[in-house]
A and B are shown apart, each in its own frame.
Chain A
C-alpha cells in the first residue's frame, strides 16, 4: 500500500514495579529497538516521545528527555499526549513525517514510572480540573467506569462473572512465556472469582494494575528499509487516532455525563466502533483479514466489548467467543497473545507502543512460547481518556 511505513525495529524494557526513573526504561527500550533495526541512534532523523504526566517536567517533554539521554544529535523532536493513546499518536506523527517525505527513519519511545494503587488526579488540589472533580464529588475511580460497562454488559448481553474471569484466565496463560510481562502466573476461574471485590462486579484480578515499563519502535520509509536490506518488513498500514462524534452517548472517563441525544441523532458508529472502522478503512482491510489482535483489557470485561468493536463478532456475541476458546492462541482469532494488560499492567505512554511491538514479533514469527501461527495481519486498539482513539494495523 502507498501509505505503508516499515517497522525496522522494536524493543521493550520489561514491565514491573522497578521504581527507577522512567527515562531509564525508555532508553533501554530505544536501544533495544535500534539494535533490532540494525541502525545507530545517530542515524535517526526524527524522535517522537509519549508524554508521562506523573514524572515531573522531564515527563512532559519526554521526546527531548529521551533524546538528551541517548545523546544530543540535533534530531528534530515532538512529544505527544493523549493519555492511554499517547503511544499511538507518537507513532502517527512519526509515520506521517516519513510519509510526507520529511524524514526516512524515526524513533518512537514511551515509558512510565507509576505510583502504587489507584491512579489519582495529577495536578494537586485543583477544583477546576475535571479529573479532580470526579474523585472529589463522585469517588469515581477508573475501575468505577470499567464496572459501569461490565454491569451493562451483564444486563444486555448475558455476560457472567465467569465470562469475565475466563478472559483473565486466558490472558494469564498467554503471558506465561512473555519475557516482558510483569505477571507470569496462571490463574483459574475460581481464583479470579475469589479475589477481593473492588468495583462490583469487577474483582481485583479482573482490573489491570499500573506498571513501570518502556517500549520503542523504529519506523522507516519502505525505500529506506529496502536500502537497508530489509525486503519484506512488517509494515504499519494504518493508525487511527479519531475522536468521538457528537453526541457521544456512552459515559466516558473522566466525564460526569454523556452528550445529550435530545436534538441530534446518535452517530451510526459509537466511539469505540469508530476507532476500529477508521483503521480498517485506512488499511483497506476488514475484521475477516485479522490473524491476531492486541486489545486494551483495562478490565477483563472490557476485552469482550473490544471483540465486538473490532468486528470479531456481532454485538452481544463476545461471550460465545471466550467460552469457545476462539480468542485463545490456537483458536480462530487469538486476542492478547502477549498476555495483555492482565499480565502487564498499564504503563500509560508505553502501552500502545508495546501493543505494536507484540504484533511485530507475532508477524515476524518471533513470539516464542506464544506464537500465533502464520500471523500476517495484526490490529491493536485502545482508547485514551478525554476522547482519544488509538488503533494500529500492521501487515506483512
Chain B
C-alpha cells in the first residue's frame, strides 16, 4: 500500500496541474482558486495532466542530507525540467534508477512515481533519464 506524499499533485503517471479556461496559462502546483496571469484572474481553472516528458534545464547532486522533513539520504539529485508544451520548468528528484553522473542539460527525461525515500510508504513524482 502506497500513499502519495502530497494529495492532488500527481497521478500514477503524470503531474496534475491546472489550466486557465480563459487565458490558457498552466499552473503547477495546481492553482485552484484564481488564474495568476495579472491580465486574466479568471476562476475557471481546469485540472489537467502535464506532459510527462521534458528536457533538463539544470540539475544538482546534493552530497549532504537536507534537514528534516526530508527523509532521504545523500547523494541525491534534484532536476529542473522544461516542459515544452506548457513552457514551464518543474523541479523533481532524479529517479533512484538514473545515474546523475551521466546527466546533461538538454537531456530528455520522463516522469516516474517512486517511493519518497528508500523504504518509505509514501510516493512522489521523480524524473528518470530515457
Contacts and interface: CB of A to CB of B under 8 A. Distances in A.
Interface of A: 117-118, 120-121, 125, 127, 132-141, 143-144, 147-149, 151-152, 155, 196-202, 246-247, 249, 251, 255-264
Contacts, number: 134
A148 B58 contact: yes
B60 A200 contact: yes
Given A135-B69, A137-B124, A257 B90 contact: yes
A155 B82 CA distance: 15
A141 B37 CA distance: 28
A260 B5 contact: no
Contacts of B62: 139, 141, 143-144, 198-200
A143 B39 CA distance: 34
B68 interface: yes
A246 B27 CA distance: 12
A199 B60 contact: yes
Q: Which bucket holds chain B's interface residue count?
A: 35 or more
A176 B51 CA distance: 51
Given A258-B88, A262-B25, A140 B37 contact: no
A346 to B, nearest CB: 16
B116 A137 contact: yes
B78 A139 contact: yes
- Which residue, of B38, B65, B78, B116, has the highest number of chain A Cβ atoms within 10 A? B78
A199 B77 CA distance: 9
Given A148-B59, A151-B105, A198-B62, A260 B88 contact: yes
A144 B64 CA distance: 11
6 contacts: A132-B69, A134-B91, A144-B78, A202-B60, A256-B91, A263-B37
A132 B5 CA distance: 12
Q: Which 6 A-B pairs have the closest CB atoms?
A: A147-B60, A120-B67, A139-B66, A260-B26, A261-B87, A148-B58
